[in-house]
C-alpha cells in the first residue's frame, strides 16, 4: 500500500495513563487516535495488569488459556489492530503513536524507540518490519492500525516482565510449535532489565518522551482530558469490555484447518449444512485486519468442493495478496 506524502508535524503531545485497566487503556488509544489534530503526533504510554491482548482477527479461545488467566485474576481483551496475542503485566510498558494517516511515518516512529534505548545505554536495533531486538533477542513487538484517515502504531516494551506468564497464559498454535519450540521462543525474548539492571518503567517513560522530542525536533506537551473527553473514553471502554467484542460468540464447526505463512497464521473453521458452507470462521494474526471478514463472507454459501471454494475466494479482492496461499491450503485438504 502507498501512503500519501507526509505532512509536517507541528505539534507533539503525550499522555501517560496512571491506572492499569486494559479496557480503559484501549479506549484511550482509540480516542487519542480519533482526536489527534491534523498536524499532531501523540505519544501514549500505558500499562495493563495481567492481561492477554489478542489481535483484531484472532480467536481468543485458541490464543489464550482463558480459565487459567481468569483464575489468576487476569483479563483477556481484543484490540483494534492486527497481529498476534501478547501478555501484559506491570513489567511491560505499552506505547502508541496516534496520528492521521497523512502524518504516519513508521520509520520515524521506530527511531523514537531506538533513540530512547540509546539514551538509556542500550544498543537496540530494528529486526524486520515489526520487532526491536537487543543482544540478539526481541524486547518489543509492534502492530498497526489504519482506518478512515486515522492511524496508530503500538507495541510492547519488555522491561521486567514475568516470562513464566508468557508461557502460562498464551497458547501457541501447533503450526507455530512445528517451527519453533517453546524453549527456543523464550530464549529469543529478553527483558531490558537484563541489560541494565537499574532500569525502571519510569526511566523508560522519561527516555521515550525525551527521544520523541529529539527525533521530531519539537517540545511535547502533556495531554489533559476534559469532562467531554472522559465521557467519550468511558463510552469506548464499554465497547471493549463487552464480552461479545472479545469472545465473539463461537458456533460449532465441522471442519477446521490452518497453516502458518510468511504474512501470518491463518485458521479456517467451516460449518457445513447440506453440502454447503453455512458459516465460516476466519482467524489470523496477520497485521492486515481487512481481509478476514470479506474472506468469511465469500466462503459462506459455497459448495464443499475445492474448486467452488477457490472460485469464491478469487471473487474476493481483499484476499488477492494471499489468494495463492489460501487456495493451496484449501486444496491440501482434499475436500
The average pLDDT across 106-132 equals 93
The 3-class secondary structure across the chain, one letter per residue, is CCCCCCCCCCEEEEEECCCCCHHHHHHHHHHHHHHCCCCEEEEEEECCCCEEEECCCCCHHHHECHHHHHHCCCEEEECCCCCCCEEECCCEEEEEEEEEHHHCCHHHHHHHHHHHHHHCCCCEEEECCCEEEECCEEEEEEEEEEECCEEEEEEEEECCCCHHHHHHHECCCHHHHHHCCHHHHHHCECCHHHCCCCCCHHHHHHHHHHHHHHHHCCCEEECCCCHHHHHHHHHHHHHHHCHHHHHCCCCCCCEEEEEEECCEEEEEEEEEECCEEEEEEEEECCCCCCCHHHHHHHHCCCECCHHHHHHHHHCCHHHHHHHHHHHHHHHCCCC
The whole-angstrom separation of Cα 66 and Cα 284 is: 18
Q: Which fold has domain 255-331?
A: Enolase-like; domain 1 (3.30.390)
Q: What value does the mean pLDDT of the chain take? A: 88
Reported confidence tier of residue 67, pLDDT bands at 50, 70, 90:
confident
The residue ranges of every structural domain in the chain are: 11-247, 255-331
- Least reliable range by pLDDT among 37-51, 84-98, 259-273, 299-313: 299-313
The whole-angstrom separation of Cα 193 and Cα 93 is: 13
The whole-angstrom separation of Cα 224 and Cα 124 is: 32
CA angle 198, 190, 261 (to 5 degrees): 155
Per-residue pLDDT of 210-228, as tens digits, reads 999 999 999 999 999 999 9
Reported confidence tier of residue 183, pLDDT bands at 50, 70, 90:
very low
Judge whether residue 181 has pLDDT over 60: no
Per-residue pLDDT of 150-160, as tens digits, reads 999 999 999 99
The whole-angstrom separation of Cα 289 and Cα 80 is: 9
Q: Which fold has domain 11-247?
A: BirA Bifunctional Protein; domain 2 (3.30.930)
Rg (CA), the chain: 21
Reported confidence tier of residue 306, pLDDT bands at 50, 70, 90:
confident
The pLDDT score that the predictor gives to residue 179 is 37
Q: Strand pairing partners for 259?
A: 266
The share of the chain scoring above pLDDT 90, in percent, equals: 63
The whole-angstrom separation of Cα 33 and Cα 39 is: 13
- Least reliable range by pLDDT among 120-124, 154-158, 271-275: 271-275
The whole-angstrom separation of Cα 254 and Cα 47 is: 39
Query: How many CB atoms are closer than 10 A to CB 266?
Result: 24
The pLDDT score that the predictor gives to residue 188 is 84
The pLDDT score that the predictor gives to residue 312 is 86
Amino acid at each position: 500500500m502507498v501512503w500519501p506524502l507526509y505532512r509536517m508535524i507541528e505539534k507533539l503531545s503525550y499522555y501517560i495513563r496512571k491506572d492499569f485497566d486494559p479496557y480503559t487503556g484501549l479506549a484511550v488509544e482509540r480516542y487519542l487516535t480519533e482526536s489527534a489534530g491534523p498536524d499532531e503526533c501523540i505519544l501514549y504510554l500505558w500499562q495493563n495488569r495481567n492481561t492477554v491482548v489478542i489481535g483484531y482477527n484472532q480467536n481468543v479461545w485458541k490464543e489464550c488459556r482463558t480459565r487459567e488467566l481468569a483464575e489468576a485474576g487476569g483479563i483477556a481483551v481484543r484490540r483494534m489492530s492486527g497481529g498476534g496475542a501478547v501478555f501484559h503485566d506491570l513489567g511491560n510498558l505499552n506505547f502508541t503513536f496516534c496520528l492521521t494517516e497523512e502524518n504516519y511515518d513508521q520509520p520515524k516512529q521506530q527511531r523514537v524507540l531506538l533513540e530512547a534505548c540509546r539514551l538509556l545505554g542500550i544498543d537496540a536495533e530494528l529486526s524486520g518490519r515489526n520487532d526491536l531486538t537487543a543482544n540478539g533477542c526481541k524486547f518489543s513487538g509492534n502492530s498497526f492500525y489504519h482506518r478512515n484517515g486515522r492511524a496508530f502504531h503500538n507495541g510492547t516494551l519488555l522491561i521486567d516482565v514475568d516470562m513464566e506468564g508468557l508461557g502460562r497464559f498464551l497458547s501457541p498454535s501447533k503450526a507455530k510449535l512445528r517451527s519453533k519450540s517453546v524453549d527456543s521462543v523464550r530464549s529469543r525474548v529478553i527483558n531490558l532489565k537484563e541489560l541494565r539492571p537499574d532500569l525502571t518503567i519510569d526511566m523508560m517513560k522519561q527516555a521515550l518522551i525525551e527521544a520523541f522530542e529529539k527525533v521530531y525536533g519539537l517540545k511535547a506537551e502533556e495531554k489533559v482530558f476534559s469532562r467531554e473527553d472522559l465521557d467519550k473514553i468511558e463510552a469506548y471502554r464499554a465497547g471493549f469490555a463487552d464480552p461479545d467484542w472479545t469472545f465473539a460468540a463461537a458456533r460449532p464447526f465441522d471442519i477446521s484447518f490452518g497453516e502458518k505463512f510468511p504474512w501470518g497464521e491463518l485458521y479456517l473453521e467451516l460449518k457445513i449444512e447440506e453440502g454447503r458452507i453455512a458459516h465460516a470462521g476466519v482467524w489470523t494474526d496477520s497485521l492486515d485486519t481487512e481481509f478476514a471478514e470479506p474472506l468469511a463472507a465469500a466462503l459462506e454459501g459455497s459448495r464443499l468442493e475445492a474448486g467452488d471454494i477457490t472460485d469464491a475466494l478469487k471473487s474476493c479482492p481483499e484476499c488477492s495478496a494471499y489468494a495463492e496461499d489460501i487456495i493451496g491450503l484449501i486444496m491440501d485438504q482434499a475436500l
